[in-house]
Amino acid sequence: MKTIVNIEKIKGRKGYRRVVFDDSFKLEIDNELINYFGMKEGSEYEDKELKKIKDLAERKLAKDRALEFLKYRSRSEREIRKKLYERRVKRAIIDEIVNDLKRVGFINDKEFALRFSRNFINRRPAGEILLKNELKRRGIKSEIIDETLKKVYSEFDKKELALKLIEKKKFDLSSNDPKIKKKIADLLLRRGFDWGIVGEVMRVNSG
């Protein structure tokens, strides 16, 4: 049997309280669950009932953290899992939350991959190699990556992207200086353009 000795506000966590028990056990729990279980100072709970409350509280807190992470932009499934794992959420709870969020469309790697790719290219032009690696790093499956690259580079012309990047970096493509040419080629390769595109762009000068 455990008795609540204090219910504290948690700085920076609106809607949550820290429930402190007489044996120093502490539980972060949202106001909705506190009201549902009638939790107040002096309330007593058997271990079995407290375990049920703890499990519900952990799930609710983890889900709220996942939704908070999704608040400002979409995330891949791997990003959500990584974030919850870093918060020491149990694997079973992570699986449950991820499945719930996928079911309601809050996690959708296919949509995420397209949105991420368009934003990535718009912010700073990039070729397929770099974009593919960025998507892999975020845990996107190979078949989704292939589909995304095909779609995105039907919307963006690779050579135009390369020229835009050169212009943005203020390189003079008309220069015959070998050092400048090398810097341009190195820039394009770093940004994931293949040698075919690099060759096409360099021929703009020779042509």
DSSP string, the chain: -EEEEEEEE-TT-TTEEEEEETTS-EEEEEHHHHHHTT--TT-EE-HHHHHHHHHHHHHHHHHHHHHHHTSSS---HHHHHHHHHHTT--HHHHHHHHHHHHHTTS--HHHHHHHHHHHHHHHS---HHHHHHHHHHTT--HHHHHHHHHHHHHHS-HHHHHHHHHHHTT--TT---HHHHHHHHHHHHHTT--HHHHHHHHHHHH-
Q: How many domains is the chain built from?
A: 3
Average pLDDT over residues 43-70: 93
Domain that residue 92 falls in: 2-103
State whether 116 and 95 are in the same domain. Answer: no
State whether 18 and 99 are in the same domain. Answer: yes
State residue 43's pLDDT score.
Answer: 93
Of 124, 141, 156, which one is at a domain's C-terminal end? Answer: 156
State whether 95 and 126 are in the same domain. Answer: no
State whether 187 and 204 are in the same domain. Answer: yes
Euclidean distance between CA atoms 181 and 58, whole angstroms: 57
State residue 174's pLDDT score.
Answer: 85
- Which one, of 153, 154, 155, 139, lies nearest residue 192 by Cα? 153
State whether 10 and 96 are in the same domain. Answer: yes
State whether 93 and 133 are in the same domain. Answer: no
Average pLDDT over residues 56-68: 93
pLDDT, tens digit, for every residue of 108-136?
999 999 999 999 999 999 999 999 999 99
User: Is residue 203 very low, low, confident or very high in pLDDT (cuts 50, 70, 90)?
Assistant: confident
CATH (domain of 14): 1.10.10.10
Which of the two residues, 24 and 207, has the higher pLDDT score? Answer: 24
State whether 7 and 92 are in the same domain. Answer: yes
State residue 204's pLDDT score.
Answer: 65
Residue 72: pLDDT above 90? no
pLDDT, tens digit, for every residue of 84-108?
999 999 999 999 999 999 999 999 9
CB 107 within 8 A of CB 77: yes
Residue 206: pLDDT above 70? no
Q: Could you give the percent of the chain with pLDDT greater than 90?
A: 84
